[in-house]
Amino acid sequence: MLQPRAITYTEKGVPASVLRVKTLPTLAAPTTGQIRVKFLLSPANPADMNVVEGVYPARAPSVEVDGTAHSLCGTEGVGRVEAVGEGVRSLRPSDWVAMGRSQLGTWRSSAVLDAASVTKLPASPALTPVHAATLAINPPTALRMLRDFTRLSRSSWVVQTGATSGVGRAVIQIARAMGVHTVNLVRERRTQQQTDAVKEELKALGATHVLTNEEVVRDSKRVRSLIANWTQSDLPLFLNCVGGQETTEVAKTLSEGAHLVTYGAMSKKPLCIPPGLLIFKDIKSVGFWMSKWYAKSSAEERSAIAGEIVQLVESGSVGMRLSSSITNSHRSQLTEPPHQIVSIGGHQTDQQATQTLRDALAAQANGGKKILFEMEDS
């Protein structure tokens, strides 16, 4: 019988140095309430790397191999149900499932999981494995932040940092489907041509305006005037995953009672908010963590948001069900994120597979695309 393989670590540290591919013990048959899944694709998200580094408030599960505890990586992924245990009525073999809980250890070829820990995905010809693997974190984060903090209407405005990130791209596309305009901040690239290409790429997704962080810092007064003119000084929502001076400057353009929602800190710089914004404009600075939402949500809520994301892939509408004839007439409003599939074949030894893994991680650290792991049993 084939044995599953997983990307594991035995000590925290730099992912490209401490992660390795390990063959695991043969899986037991699923028991009552369990399922066996074959992971089709599993993304490597920044939070996963932070867990490995030991700087993220989450604990990875572990499995013992040859007397040593190996921590299992990965929160997101799409699995195909291979077998179900007694009492499992909601799932059957061949169903696709997304993860309904964090830290399930998705960077592996196959696993036995509690059926209650996954969310069945709607069958849809529009849903590719890449879409399915990446729909549990970034698109729901974008949707929840656009929906949960303020009431947005058509022609409302939202500003965000980190617009080229997975969440940032989802914000642009979901906002477009809602009829909401976006002001988007990105990093300058090495050349002006590269920066312009990034701006055009985001505009093609639906971004209304794109600025660079460096523009904001160099000429903050002019940029604040631009944003005020675009939004008519009505800017109720700021989605921040960067921090630093650019976030402080843009926060000054928010309208009274607006929400500044922070869900990341990629610059590793402090988030500084002038007291006057809190006192005189009643700006509300809050945080958002999708893992906490999942921990508090019901199975029905998780299923509903997965259904909405799939519907966005199919038709581009938010919060309403469409007939199949209308669905088929619309272009997808949620594109696959830029990605690279890293295949770890069953024919490779653990040592060879580990080298494949570390080469891919090193390339990503130098500006590569999002990695999706595709792993085979050994």
What backbone phi and psi angles, to 5 degrees, belong to 260?
A: -105, 110
Question: Element (H or E) spanning 359, and its range?
Answer: helix 350-365
- Name residue, tokens 């619309």: 330
Scored b (16 or more CB within 10 A) or e, 9-29 reads beeeeebbebbbbbbbeebee
Task: Show the tokens assigned to 291.
Answer: 């893992």
Residue 332: per-residue pLDDT = 57
Average pLDDT value for the chain = 93
Distances (CA, A) of 22 to 16, 66, 69, 316, 344: 15, 11, 12, 41, 11
pLDDT reported for residue 314: 87
Q: Cα dihedral angle (106, 111, 112, 114), rounded to 10 degrees?
A: 10
Please classify residue 291 by burial: count the beta carbons closer than 10 Å to its beta carbon, then call 0-12 exposed, 13-18 middle and 19+ buried: middle
pLDDT at 368: 76
H or E segment to which residue 22 belongs: strand 20-23
Structural domains of the chain, with CATH: 5-134+336-375 (3.90.180.10), 138-291 (3.40.50.720)
Catalytic residues: 56
In this prediction, the residues of the chain whose per-residue pLDDT falls under 70 are: 1, 316-332
Q: Measure the CA–CA gap between 328 and 177, rounded to whole angstroms.
A: 16
Amino acid at 364: Q
Q: What is the pLDDT of residue 26?
A: 95
Provide the 8-state DSSP code for 344. Answer: E
**pLDDT score recorded for residue 365:** 81
Burial (Cβ within 10 Å: 0-12, 13-18, ≥19) of residue 296:
exposed
The owner of tokens 């989450």 is 58
pLDDT of residue 330: 42
